[in-house]
Structure 1
Amino acid sequence: MKLFYSPSSPFVRKVMIAAHELGLVDRLERQPAAAHPVKRDASIRAENPLGQVPTLVTDGGLVLFDSRVICEYLDAQGGGALFGSGETRWRNLAGAAMGDGLLNAALLARYEGAVRPEALRWSDWADGQMSKVTDVLAVLDRTAPAFGDRVDIATITLACALGYLDFRYPALDWRRDHPAAAAWYAAFAERPSMVATQPRD
């Protein structure tokens, strides 16, 4: 399987963590890619019209995106239970959507400051996105104590989201006001899959 890959992407990291947890990481051929919201990578666009990472090309030639779809495909290939069934599946999907929402908001705020020309930046837009981050952190602080030792698409996605905040927003002291979320993340971040997928530029 070929994975269009960027070591700084939290969505790629989510796929890589799932692959590690499912014992499939050695089956992924990582294809370096330079996804960008403006300067779009032609090599990705040849497979995925959105030009985004992660994009997975299966051994059978099927092209899959986005990260949640790829993770579900890997889960099926590895015989895992990252998504679950019945009520557990809906719980896991809802948690993953919350983590993805935090990531999308944090990415949009970052693009506003790092990609958009300074004369066109809108601080209210960035503030609005970061308020979503704050709201998700508040919910996560209330719910994280019940996670226990769960390893599923929800906890993986939420851990990637918190890791992204550390990576791109080092001045954001999210742990100060969210000690329960911080305690859960500290334990989850010690998993070998998390250690092996630390983001980098």
Structure 2
Amino acid sequence: MKLLKAGPSPFVRKVLVTLHETGLMDQVEMVQVTASPLDPDSKLTSANPVGKVPALVRDEGPTLYDSRVICRYLDHVAGTKLYPQARIWDTLTLEATADGILEAAVLMVYEGRFRPENLRYDPWIEGQWAKVTRALAALEGRWMSHLNGPLDAGQIACACALGYLDFRHADRPWRAAHPALAEWEAGFKARDSMIATRPE
């Protein structure tokens, strides 16, 4: 299998953490591509027509994307139960919440990186951050018991989302308003899989 990846993508990091946690890391070749929304790599668009990373090129069967599909596939291959049937809807909803944080946070980065300065729209940027703050409040208010339970894909997604906020939006601190979430994140990021995939 080949994993198409680009830069410090938090969606790629979700897959890398999952590879570490499932013990499949040595079965996947890493392929660096360019994933600019303005000029994506042809290797990427031939694998994923949307032109986004990650994409998992399999030896048999079509290429898989996006990160949620890939993570679930890897868990199925390894049989590690990161998507436990007993709490599958909670796990999937938690993962979707974390991915929503990431989507909004990445769009904020893209606004500054790809849109000309005179065309940037601050209310739109703040609207994206409002999605993040609502999701963080939901994690703190609704999901702490799940986060503190047995390891699953929802926890991995949340840890990667919080790590990305620190990496790209350090000027918008989130911990003071969410002490329980901050305490959980401090423990989870000490896992070997998180240390090995920490963005530079």
- Give the TM interval when normalised to the shorter protein: over 0.9
1:103 matched to 2:102? The reply is yes
1:34 matched to 2:52? The reply is no
Q: Secondary structure in 1 aligned to 2:157? A: helix
Q: Secondary structure in 1 aligned to 2:175? A: helix
Q: Secondary structure in 1 aligned to 2:82? A: coil
Letter in 2 for 1:96: E
Query: 69-78 or 141-150, which moves further after superposition?
Result: 141-150
Once the 2 structures are TM-superposed, how far is the Cα of residue 142 of structure 1 from its aligned partner?
2.1
Q: What percentage of aligned pairs have identical amino acids?
A: 47
1:172 matched to 2:172? The reply is yes
Report the counterpart of residue 91 of structure 2 in structure 1: 92
Q: Secondary structure in 2 aligned to 1:195? A: helix
Partners in 2 of 1:144 and 1:90 — Cα distance? Answer: 13
Once the 2 structures are TM-superposed, how far is the Cα of residue 199 of structure 1 from its aligned partner?
1.3
Alignment check: 8 A CA contact 1:7 1:13 kept? no
Aligned CA-pair RMSD: 1.2
Once the 2 structures are TM-superposed, how far is the Cα of residue 93 of structure 1 from its aligned partner?
0.3
Partners in 2 of 1:115 and 1:151 — Cα distance? Answer: 37
Report the counterpart of residue 76 of structure 1 in structure 2: 76
Once the 2 structures are TM-superposed, how far is the Cα of residue 67 of structure 1 from its aligned partner?
0.3
Q: Deviations over 1:82-108 (max 9, x none)?
A: 11114x000000000000000001111
Letter in 2 for 1:34: T
Letter in 1 for 2:100: G
Report the counterpart of residue 134 of structure 1 in structure 2: 133
Once the 2 structures are TM-superposed, how far is the Cα of residue 183 of structure 1 from its aligned partner?
0.2
Once the 2 structures are TM-superposed, how far is the Cα of residue 114 of structure 1 from its aligned partner?
1.8
Report the counterpart of residue 151 of structure 2 in structure 1: 151
Report the counterpart of residue 23 of structure 1 in structure 2: 23
Once the 2 structures are TM-superposed, how far is the Cα of residue 25 of structure 1 from its aligned partner?
0.6
Q: TM-score when scaled to structure 1?
A: 0.95
Once the 2 structures are TM-superposed, how far is the Cα of residue 7 of structure 1 from its aligned partner?
4.0
Once the 2 structures are TM-superposed, how far is the Cα of residue 120 of structure 1 from its aligned partner?
1.2
Letter in 1 for 2:96: A
Letter in 2 for 1:48: N
Q: Provide structure 1 residue ranges, at least 5 long, that are not aligned to the other structure.
A: none
Q: Deviations over 1:37-96 (max 9, x none)?
A: 11211110121111111000112142000000000110111011111114x000000000
Q: TM-score when scaled to structure 2?
A: 0.96
Letter in 2 for 1:57: V
Alignment check: 8 A CA contact 1:55 1:64 kept? yes
Partners in 1 of 2:54 and 2:142 — Cα distance? Answer: 28
Once the 2 structures are TM-superposed, how far is the Cα of residue 157 of structure 1 from its aligned partner?
0.4
Once the 2 structures are TM-superposed, how far is the Cα of residue 36 of structure 1 from its aligned partner?
1.0
Q: Structure 1's 149 and 196: CA in aligned 2 closer, same or farther, altered over 3 A?
A: farther
Alignment check: 8 A CA contact 1:6 1:53 kept? yes
